[in-house]
Structure formats: structure tokens, C-alpha cells
Chains A and B, each alone.
Chain A
Amino acid sequence: MNNTMNLLTMITPAMMIPIFPLLGFLILSLFGKKLGLMSGWIASMAILGSFLCSINLFIGLEGDQQLNFSIFNWINSGDLQIEFGFLIDQLSLIMLLVVTGIGFLIHLYSIGYMHHDEGFTRFFSYLNLFVFFMLLLVMGNNYAVMFIGWEGVGLCSYLLIGFWFKNPDYNNAAKKAFIMNRIGDLGFLIGIFALIFHFGTLDFIDVQNQLTGFESNAPILVFITLMLFIGATGKSAQLPLYTWLPDAMAGPTPVSALIHAATMVTAGIYMICRSNLLFALAPYTLHIILIVGVATSLFAAIIGIKQNDIKKVLAYSTVSQLGLMFAAIGLGAFESSLFHVMTHAFFKALLFLGAGSVIHAMGGEQDIRKMGGLSKSIKITFVTFLIATLAISGIFPFAGFFSKDEILAKAFEHNLLAWALLSISSMITAFYMFRLLFLVFYGQFRGTEQQAKHLHESPISMTFPLMVLAILSAFGGFFGLPAVFDSTHQLNVFLAPIFNASKLVTTEVHALSHSQEWMLMGIATFAALMSIFFAFSLYIKKQQLPENDADLTGFSKIVANKFYVDEFYHKVFVNPIMIISDLLLVLVDKLIIDMVVNLTAIIVDALGRLYRLIQTGSTGFYLIAMVLSMVIVMFIQIIL
């Protein structure tokens, strides 16, 4: 009894979580012009409010308690009933904390980063709208509400990538992101329709309860999960739909940090974790996910080596890390994947914000060949960036070490090939991240005189989020200590209610022995250190610089050009569609439709002109016409 009462009191804070950013968005879009720089603070406070409510829920919900409530009946059609409701459980709580917590820090950072921009209030209103939709996505208690959030974040992502809409390249990048996401969304939608068709409901819990009767690998489950996974590949930038994410770096850097590193791109993983029992019952799909994840991870990491734009390096690194998370899902290790989502959110947000601070100091320069030696002039940025780099490279005891190690250990249990490839990918990651670090912060300054004078540390509103994130990146890994440290894996314990059911249906592999775990950790650390040393010798000792694009040859040229995937897509998909639409324009639209339409218009117009002649203006004629029609009517009436 006490428990239910307790739960009921928590509906209000749960409702407030999405309402805060929605209010923020409304206020900013209605009164933004008058608010000026205040708008940044209003937006940040809105997110802080959501964050505090999330903490309230986090403290209030105990054990495996869930808060599942409906706000109104949304769609009623025949047997199908879809509610607009929220589900707060351990899974959504983790995401809520990440989204609102990091979201708040990034809002704060943006106040400093964007304060020269003329679109300041517009930026914050979009940002608040994004957080609102992201919260809907995370909190929805069925696939339909999740889909609203899913589409909403896609829209905001589009708006924010094209934020500086005067540059046509940025607009193209925004359109590309939108279209690629639409391809994935189509899969997601088909999956949703299939769910309605077979289960008659979209409610997460109802679907899960109905799953008990299904065999592993039942064709319908494989189909549904594959479709949902296609949706996830779009949103989370996996092969083959990943090319929009690097282009999405056209948006302001805080956007890259919030949307394209920490939150939106992990929506695909969240969605799969949400449906974990569904996926656990479809091992075929899991196998495909594993293949796609490993391939994406390796592929993107290789491209990352040859990128010279500071944000592009981070973008490919994000794609690669997302691949790692999908690989974890493919191995059936949903909670490990989620662990990495969390730590990745910390250090990748930090890396992007640090990159933003560097760009800010350099007056907008993004090419790492024109930086160098920045560690002296922007100390806080340097130290935090270093921590994040250590974290992503998987150096003990930083956050990335634990989460990455956990996934690698799971891979070692299930599939040796996957383990080997993921390890290589991790090595490459360590290499290109330290290449970035060395080129930006060490050696001689290679920019212009003017830039050298302009160099300065960012204001406190920007460095404060960096420091908080640095702490999280450094210690965030302790939420999930591996078994060898003889302590509880807090995250797994916390998430246990979510994944218990799917644990029962996945094939159990005997756990690794402690010596094996030590060995794996040793290998991973050694490999990372080797990579760092290699990068050190190249870029510090030999003081090498990346070649100019024109001087590249052979394989490195192919890598620098991202394996020509964009060009390939352009030739194979975009151009044929353009040709077909040109053809349709000339043949169908101009020739047939226009002719039919214009001809109709001409005929109707001519009739109108003719008809007008009856209106002569002579009263006598009018009266005769009236009387004549009466006579005719009477005549007909008599005949009838």
C-alpha cells in the first residue's frame, strides 16, 4: 500500500520532466527576441529542472519498481488502442539522467559558445525542443510515443545541423541527415506496423508479456527485429546509413556534442534495449547486428586515421564507438552496451566540447594541421581533453576502460573473431585519438600570427561543463566494475529487472575465469599503449604532419576520401533518382499534367466569359428570362 502511494506521488515529477523543456521552447520561441541573452539561462534552467526531477525519480524508485502511467487515450481505432503514456523504469532512468544531466551541461556551455551568434535565442529554442522530444522518446511507454520522439529529434537534428542556413553546404548536410534517417525510419515504421498486426498493441510491457509463447527465431520476430534494427541503423549511424553523421558536424559544436554524440545517436541502442526480449528471441537478427556493429566499428575507425578536421575525427570516432555498442547488443550483452552508452556520453561530449573550446580559441579554425602547441595557452581545455582521450582509448582507470573492456570480454566469450576485430578497432581508436591530441596540443603553433594573438582560454561557463564531464569521464567507470575487482557491478544490478527475462532465453556461456579476465585487460591496455607510443613517435618525435590532400597516394588516399562511399552513394542512388525525376518532370509533369490542367483552366475560363454575356443589364431581359423559366417549369410539371 505504502509503495503504491509512493509511486503515485511520483507521477507529478515524471510529468514535469518533459514539460520543462517544452515550456522553455514555447517561451523562447514566443518572446525570444525580447529576452536576448537571458534566453540561454532560461533554456538551461528548464533542463536543470528536468534533471532535478529525474534525480527525484531516481531516488524515489526502489528495487524493481516501475512507474507506468497513461496521460490520455491517444488513438482508438477498432481493437487497437494506443495510449499516450510514460514508462519510468531503470532503463529510462539511466537515459533520463544522461540526457538531462549532459543536456544541462551542454546548454550551459552553449551560453558561452554561442553568445556572439545572431541566432542565439533560436539556437536555444531548438535545443530545448530537441531535449523535449528526446525525453518523449525515452519516456514513452509504447512504440508510438517513442516514434513521436524519434521523429521529433530527427527534425531538431535537421534544424540544428542547418542552423547556419545561409551556407548551402550546411543545408545540404542537414537534408542528407534527414533523408538518411527517413530511410531508417521507414524500417522502424514497418516494424511498428508488424507489431500492431501481430500483437495488436504497441505497449512495451504488453508486447513483452505476449512473447512467452514464441519460439526462438520465429520468422515474424526475426522480421520485426530486423525492421526495428534498420530504424536503429539510420538513427545511430551504422553501416550502410552512417554517412550523414560526419556531415552533420556542420552544426554548431554543442549540437554535435549533445545530439550527435551523447544522446540522439544512441536512441537506436535504447530502442533495442527497450525491446531486448524481442531481440533475444531472434538470434538471427542479433547475429546480423553483431556483423554490422563490428564492421562499422572497424570501418569508421580506419577512416578516422586520415581525417584532418578536428570534428570529423570525432564524428568517425562516434560512428566507430556506436558500432562497438551494437556489437555488444549482437552478443546479447544489452547492459554492457548501455554501460558504454553512458561512459561514451561522458567522454565524447567532453571531447566535442573541448574541440569547441579549441575552435573557439582558434577563431573558427577546424583543421588540425593549422593548430599545434595549444597546451600552453588553453590549459583547462587541454587537461580535460587529455582525460577524455585517455578514457576513449581505454586506459585504466578511466571510464572507457571498464565499459570497453566489458564488451571485449563478452566478445571473447562468444566469438573470437569479433573479439579480434574489435580489439584492432580499439587500437586504431587509441592511435587516431592521440594523433589528434598530439597534433592539436603539442609541437609548434602552425596557425597565423593573428590567431596566435587571439588564443585565449574560454569563459567559465564553457570550462565548467568541461571540468564536470572530465570528472565523470575519469571516474564514471566505477559504476560497473568487472568481477575481478570483487565488487558489485552496480549498473548491472540496477538494470537487472529490465534484462532478466532476456537473460533466460539467450544461450548461457560460462563466465570467464579471473585469470582470463586479467589477461584480456592486459592485452587491451598493452595494445592501447602501443598505439599511443606509435602516435607519439610519429607526431612528437618525428614531428610529422599529415600530408596535403594532393600528395596522398594509394591506400591512404582512399582512406582520406572515406573509401569513396559518399561518391558511391551519389553515383548509385542519388544520380539515378535525379535522372528519373528529371524525366518525370519533363514527361509527366510538364507535358501531361500541365497540359491537362491548363486546358481545363482555359475551357472553364472561356465558359465563364461566355456565361457572362447573359447578364445584359437590361431589366426587361431579366424578367423575360425569369418568366420563361417559370413557364418551362410549369410545362414540365404538367407533363410529369
Chain B
Amino acid sequence: MNTLIYTSVLGFGLMVLEVLKLRKWISPAIILGLSLIFGINIHDWNQPGSYMGNMLEISNFTVAFNALAIFITLLIAMLASEYYSDEEHHISDYMAIMTFVLCGAQMMLGYANLVLFFIGIETLSISLYALSGSKRFDAKSNEAGFKYFLMGSFASGFLLFGIALMYGATQSFDLNKLAEYAMGTSVSPLFLTGLLLVLFALFFKVSAAPFHFWAPDVYEGAPSIITAFMSTLVKVVGFAAFYKFLHVFGYLIPVKFDWLITLVAILSLVTGNLSALAQENFKRLMAYSGISHAGYLLIGLVGAAAFPSSAILYYGLGYSLSTIGAFAIAMAVFKSTGSESISAFNGLGKKNPVLAACLTATMLGLAGIPPFAGFFGKFYIFSEAIQNGHFYLVLVGILSSMIGIYYYMKVVIAMYAKPANETKIEISLTNQLVMWLCLVLVLLIGIMPSLVTGLF
């Protein structure tokens, strides 16, 4: 509860700083503010509660994912202060909007009422539409923002319609009441249709196939920093919200819709991995990689009633850290070479061996190779799925992660086996700091997964 309030205050405060012409203080303020909010959030650990007439509920699940979301935003804010440094007159807008994305994310993590759920998703999405188009003079950025907005509003329409149908069947938005209804003997088709529509909207948010079409275009067009933000925060929060939504209805969704989630998981794995093979653009590659990771996480949601949330937290943490670490390096490379294709990395191994080694580590992490966190993330999901009897799903998962290694290695090969171009790569101190932070954490939880999985 406090977390949400202070995050909103931070967002407004950043805009006030702009008005007061204290532009220099914006970056320090957001970093300091997010750190404080992180602490405030941790304070709620083991103190469950329900607020605002049971609109918002705080549990350890919420606190843990909130912490992850705040941490991701913090890392992105650090990178953003560097990224936007040459576009200074807008920095407060971007930073404030980012903070509002975090607000939306916190609502999605703590909702106990479908209205708050909707408001959360909309706050998050609308902020992101604006951020995607934040490079005002870049046609691609504009296209990305507009495409995202158009398709996103479509999805929002379905979500709202689904919620309305569920309300029609139960006369309530409250999750407890909905859960009670779902446990009852007769569930009306109206309610089921509503559920299905909400599921579609969630598939869209986490960019699972066949609702993924927006992702590659938007990821490619959006400013790199926003791509990194979307591909980590939105995905992780989307899945946490998804997981929570499935859990509310107990065995109703596994019984009725497991086939759908299974199908979408397989489609995402196949689409994400196969399409990534042919990509030449690094950001598009990461978009398809994100789709395939949605597939892996969806494996964890099949039969979600039996699945531990810590596995999703662990996977989300490992994935986010690897992705942000990769973007911290990639953004420096893009800036120096002026190109966003994989060939921009050519010869990095010779020019800057440390950066190349770090990028290799993040790629290996994403591909799921020990000792990085990606390995145990996949391992937990696969082993849980096997225990629940989803053998074929795991088979598809393993086959597609084999394909995954191929395209992640494309970046590595470009760095080490291709001749170098002349341009020198310069990486700022902030980017280096974020990179090392991500790498150390990924390795740490990769070696000691119980740090995260032991939380709950």
C-alpha cells in the first residue's frame, strides 16, 4: 500500500522538479527515490494486509514481485539517465512516465479486485505507449508507439469486455467473491467467456503467440532503453499477474483452459525460436527471444494450481538481469556504431574483450547454460512440469532451447569470429555499473538458487 503511494508521489515529484528547473537533480532523485521505495516495500515482508475496501492486497508474493519490479525500474532508470543525457529537455517526462509504469505494475501485482487490475494494466500500457514513441523525430519510434497503442487498445477492449461479462455472471469485481463463484457447482458460460477474454488480454500483454505480433515491431522501433524496460518489467509483471489470476480460480482454469495455455506455450516456443533464427537486428532478436521466454514461463502456468510461484520469480529475475545486462552493453555498442544490427558487434572480442566476455555471459544466461541463472530457471520449470505429467511440453521446451542456443550464439560469433570494424566502443561508467551488477547477481543466484527459491 505504502509502496504504491510513494511510487506515485515520486512520479509527480519528478515532474515538479522539472517545473522548479532542478533538472540536474532528476536522475539522482529517481535513483534515490526508487531505492527508498525498495526499502519501504521490503518492510511489508511477512505483513499481509488488505487495503482500500479490499481493492489491494499485500502478501509475500506481492512484496517479492514488487521488489523485482522496483529493482528492474531502478536499473533501467540508471541506464536511462545516461541514454537520455543528450535529450535533456525531456528527461523528466521519461523518468516520470517510467515511474508510472511501475505504479501500474504494482497495481497488477497487488490487485484484489478486477477494477484495480484493469486500472493497473491501463496505467502500465498507456505509459508504455508514450514511452515507445518517445523519440519524437524518429519515424520508427512513432510507428512503434502508434502500433502498440492501436493493438493495445484492442486488447484492452477484450479485457474490459471480459471483466464485464464476469461481472454480469457474478455481480461482483471482488476476487474473493469471484473465487467463491468459481468453486460453486454451476458456472455459467457467460463467466467462462469472460475468463477467456481476460486470458487473451493477458496473452497479449506477455507477448505470447499468436498474440505476439506487436512485439517485434514495437521492440525494434522503440528506443533501446524502452525495449529493455518492456522486455523485462512488462513480461515479469504480466506473468505474475497471470499467475495470480489463474490461482484465484483454483482448479477451474486448469480444468477448462489447460489445453489453451499448452497450445499457446508451444506456439510461443516455436514462433519465438524459429523466427529469431533469421533475425539480423539485435532488438528484434531480443523480441523473439522474449516471445520464446514467454513460452517457457507458460509451461510453468499449465496446471498453475500446483506450481510454486518462486520458480516464476526465479525465472523472471534471471531473465530480467540477463536481458538488462545485455542491453547495457548493446546500447553502448549501438551508440558508438550507429547501427542496431547484430553486425554492430563484429570484432568486439578484439576491441573490448571485457565487454565481449560479459555480453557472452548474458547470452549464455539467456540460452540457459550453467552456471548462470537461466539454467536453473529452466530446470525448475521443466522439472515441475515433468512432475505434473507434462512430458511432451517439456520435450518441446528442450528442443526449442536447443534452437535458442543457436541464435544467442550468433551474437557471440559476431563478436569473436568476425573481423572488426574501425569504430571504437565507449561505454559509460553507469552502463558498466549496471552490467557488472547484473552479471554478479545472475552468477550468484545461478550458483545459489536457494537464495531466491527459498523465499517462499
Dominant SS among interface residues on chain B: helix
Q: Does B31 contact A (CB under 8 A)?
A: no
Q: Does A579 contact B (CB under 8 A)?
A: no
Interface residues of A in 589-640 (CB under 8 A from B): 601, 604-605, 607-609, 611-612, 615, 617, 619, 621-623, 625-626, 629-630, 633-634, 637, 640
Do the beta carbons of B196 and A637 come within 8 Å of each other?
A: yes
Selected from A601, A611, A622, A640, the residue in CB contact (under 8 A) with B214 is A622
In this complex, what residue of A is CB-closest to B403? A604
Do the beta carbons of B277 and A625 come within 8 Å of each other?
A: no
CB neighbours (8 Å) of B274 from chain A are 604, 607-608, 611
CB neighbours (8 Å) of A623 from chain B are 150-151, 154
Task: Looking at the assembled complex, report how far the CB atom of A620 sits from the nearest CB atom of chain B, in whole angstroms.
Answer: 10
Do the beta carbons of B260 and A611 come within 8 Å of each other?
A: no
Q: Does B293 contact A (CB under 8 A)?
A: no
Task: Looking at the assembled complex, report how far the CB atom of B112 sits from the nearest CB atom of chain A, in whole angstroms.
Answer: 27
Task: Looking at the assembled complex, report how far the CB atom of A501 sits from the nearest CB atom of chain B, in whole angstroms.
Answer: 45
In this complex, what residue of A is CB-closest to B257? A637
Task: Tell me the bound Cα distance from A6 to B169 in angstroms.
Answer: 82
Do the beta carbons of A615 and B213 come within 8 Å of each other?
A: yes
Do the beta carbons of B210 and A629 come within 8 Å of each other?
A: yes
CB neighbours (8 Å) of B277 from chain A are 604-605, 608-609
Given A633-B196, A634-B196; A605-B151 close (CB under 8 Å): no
Do the beta carbons of B213 and A630 come within 8 Å of each other?
A: no
In this complex, what residue of B is CB-closest to A628? B210
Q: Mark B261-287, 1 if CB is under 8 A from A, else 0.
A: 000000000010011111100000000
Dominant SS among interface residues on chain A: helix
CB neighbours (8 Å) of A629 from chain B are 210-211
Given A608-B278, A611-B274; A626-B193 close (CB under 8 Å): no
Q: Does B340 contact A (CB under 8 A)?
A: no
CB neighbours (8 Å) of B210 from chain A are 625-626, 629
CB neighbours (8 Å) of B211 from chain A are 626, 629
CB neighbours (8 Å) of A605 from chain B are 277-278
Task: Tell me the bound Cα distance from A626 to B403 in angstroms.
Answer: 26
In this complex, what residue of B is CB-closest to A634? B196
CB neighbours (8 Å) of B403 from chain A are 604
In this complex, what residue of A is CB-closest to B189? A638
Q: Does B244 contact A (CB under 8 A)?
A: no
Q: Does B334 contact A (CB under 8 A)?
A: no
Task: Looking at the assembled complex, report how far the CB atom of A628 sits from the nearest CB atom of chain B, in whole angstroms.
Answer: 9
Do the beta carbons of B151 and A619 come within 8 Å of each other?
A: yes
Q: Does B223 contact A (CB under 8 A)?
A: no
Task: Tell me the bound Cα distance from A626 to B256 in angstroms.
Answer: 21
CB neighbours (8 Å) of A633 from chain B are 196, 200, 260
The tally of residues in A whose CB lies under 8 Å from a CB in B reads 22
Q: Does B303 contact A (CB under 8 A)?
A: no
Given A633-B196, A633-B260, A634-B196; A626-B278 close (CB under 8 Å): no
Q: Mark A63-87, 1 if CB is under 8 A from B, else 0.
A: 0000000000000000000000000
Task: Looking at the assembled complex, report how far the CB atom of B226 sits from the nearest CB atom of chain A, in whole angstroms.
Answer: 19
Q: Mark A99-132, 1 if CB is under 8 A from B, else 0.
A: 0000000000000000000000000000000000
Task: Tell me the bound Cα distance from A375 to B158 in angstroms.
Answer: 101
Selected from B150, B204, B260, B275, the residue in CB contact (under 8 A) with A615 is B275
Task: Tell me the bound Cα distance from A621 to B213 in angstroms.
Answer: 9
Q: Does B192 contact A (CB under 8 A)?
A: yes
Selected from A609, A612, A619, A640, the residue in CB contact (under 8 A) with B147 is A619
Task: Tell me the bound Cα distance from A346 to B158 in angstroms.
Answer: 88
In this complex, what residue of B is CB-closest to A630? B200
Do the beta carbons of B275 and A612 come within 8 Å of each other?
A: yes
Do the beta carbons of A608 and B276 come within 8 Å of each other?
A: yes
In this complex, what residue of A is CB-closest to B197? A630
In this complex, what residue of A is CB-closest to B213? A622
Task: Looking at the assembled complex, report how far the CB atom of A460 sits from the nearest CB atom of chain B, in whole angstroms.
Answer: 44
CB neighbours (8 Å) of A622 from chain B are 151, 213-214
Q: Mark A561-604, 1 if CB is under 8 A from B, else 0.
A: 00000000000000000000000000000000000000001001
Q: Does B397 contact A (CB under 8 A)?
A: no
Q: Does B368 contact A (CB under 8 A)?
A: no
Tell me which of B158, B256, B278 has the highest count of chain A C-beta atoms within 10 A of its own C-beta: B278
Task: Looking at the assembled complex, report how far the CB atom of A627 sits from the nearest CB atom of chain B, in whole angstroms.
Answer: 8
Task: Looking at the assembled complex, report how far the CB atom of A158 sits from the nearest CB atom of chain B, in whole angstroms.
Answer: 26
Task: Looking at the assembled complex, report how far the CB atom of A11 sits from the nearest CB atom of chain B, in whole angstroms.
Answer: 29
Tell me which of B216, B260, B275 has the highest count of chain A C-beta atoms within 10 A of its own C-beta: B275
Task: Tell me the bound Cα distance from A626 to B271 in angstroms.
Answer: 14
Given A626-B213, A629-B211, A634-B193; A608-B275 close (CB under 8 Å): yes
Do the beta carbons of B196 and A626 come within 8 Å of each other?
A: no
Q: Mark B181-214, 1 if CB is under 8 A from A, else 0.
A: 0000000000011001000100010000011011
In this complex, what residue of A is CB-closest to B276? A608
CB neighbours (8 Å) of B217 from chain A are 615, 617
Task: Looking at the assembled complex, report how far the CB atom of B163 sits from the nearest CB atom of chain A, in whole angstroms.
Answer: 16
Task: Tell me the bound Cα distance from A615 to B216 in angstroms.
Answer: 8
CB neighbours (8 Å) of B150 from chain A are 619, 623
Task: Tell me the bound Cα distance from A352 to B98 in angstroms.
Answer: 73
In this complex, what residue of A is CB-closest to B272? A611
Task: Looking at the assembled complex, report how far the CB atom of B338 sits from the nearest CB atom of chain A, in whole angstroms.
Answer: 23
Task: Tell me the bound Cα distance from A83 to B211 in angstroms.
Answer: 55
In this complex, what residue of B is CB-closest to A605? B277
Task: Tell me the bound Cα distance from A611 to B216 in angstroms.
Answer: 13
CB neighbours (8 Å) of B213 from chain A are 615, 621-622, 625-626
CB neighbours (8 Å) of A615 from chain B are 213, 216-217, 275
Task: Looking at the assembled complex, report how far the CB atom of A299 sits from the nearest CB atom of chain B, in whole angstroms.
Answer: 49
In this complex, what residue of A is CB-closest to B277? A608
Task: Tell me the bound Cα distance from A159 to B276 in angstroms.
Answer: 44
Task: Looking at the assembled complex, report how far the CB atom of A455 sits from the nearest CB atom of chain B, in whole angstroms.
Answer: 48
Do the beta carbons of A637 and B192 come within 8 Å of each other?
A: yes
In this complex, what residue of B is CB-closest to A638? B189
Do the beta carbons of A626 and B154 come within 8 Å of each other?
A: yes
Task: Looking at the assembled complex, report how far the CB atom of B133 sits from the nearest CB atom of chain A, in whole angstroms.
Answer: 15
In this complex, what residue of B is CB-closest to A633? B260
Do the beta carbons of A611 and B196 come within 8 Å of each other?
A: no
Task: Tell me the bound Cα distance from A486 to B217 in angstroms.
Answer: 98
CB neighbours (8 Å) of A601 from chain B are 406
Task: Tell me the bound Cα distance from A607 to B278 in angstroms.
Answer: 9
Task: Tell me the bound Cα distance from A611 to B279 in angstroms.
Answer: 11
In this complex, what residue of A is CB-closest to B215? A615
CB neighbours (8 Å) of B154 from chain A are 623, 626
Task: Looking at the assembled complex, report how far the CB atom of B354 sits from the nearest CB atom of chain A, in whole angstroms.
Answer: 18
Task: Tell me the bound Cα distance from A607 to B406 in angstroms.
Answer: 14
Task: Tell me the bound Cα distance from A612 to B274 in angstroms.
Answer: 8
CB neighbours (8 Å) of A604 from chain B are 274, 277, 403, 406
In this complex, what residue of A is CB-closest to B275? A611
Task: Tell me the bound Cα distance from A611 to B213 in angstroms.
Answer: 12
Do the beta carbons of B151 and A611 come within 8 Å of each other?
A: no
Do the beta carbons of A611 and B271 come within 8 Å of each other?
A: yes
Task: Tell me the bound Cα distance from A640 to B158 in angstroms.
Answer: 22
Task: Tell me the bound Cα distance from A331 to B150 in angstroms.
Answer: 92
Task: Tell me the bound Cα distance from A615 to B275 in angstroms.
Answer: 9
CB neighbours (8 Å) of B192 from chain A are 637
Task: Looking at the assembled complex, report how far the CB atom of A545 sits from the nearest CB atom of chain B, in whole angstroms.
Answer: 56
Q: Mark B134-167, 1 if CB is under 8 A from A, else 0.
A: 0000000000000100110010001000000000
Task: Looking at the assembled complex, report how far the CB atom of A607 sits from the nearest CB atom of chain B, in whole angstroms.
Answer: 5
In this complex, what residue of B is CB-closest to A622? B213
What would 18 A/B residue contacts be, using CB atoms closer than 8 Å?
A601-B406, A604-B406, A605-B277, A605-B278, A607-B274, A608-B277, A609-B278, A612-B278, A615-B213, A621-B213, A623-B150, A623-B154, A626-B151, A626-B154, A626-B213, A629-B210, A629-B211, A633-B260
Interface contacts beyond A607-B274, A637-B192: sample of 8 additional A-B pairs, CB < 8 Å, sorted by A:
A605-B278, A612-B278, A615-B217, A617-B217, A619-B147, A622-B214, A626-B210, A633-B196
**Interface of B with A (CB < 8 Å)?**
147, 150-151, 154, 158, 192-193, 196, 200, 204, 210-211, 213-214, 216-217, 256, 259-260, 271, 274-279, 403, 406
Interchain residue pairs A-B with the least CB separation, the first 8? A608-B277, A622-B213, A608-B274, A608-B278, A629-B210, A611-B274, A612-B278, A609-B278
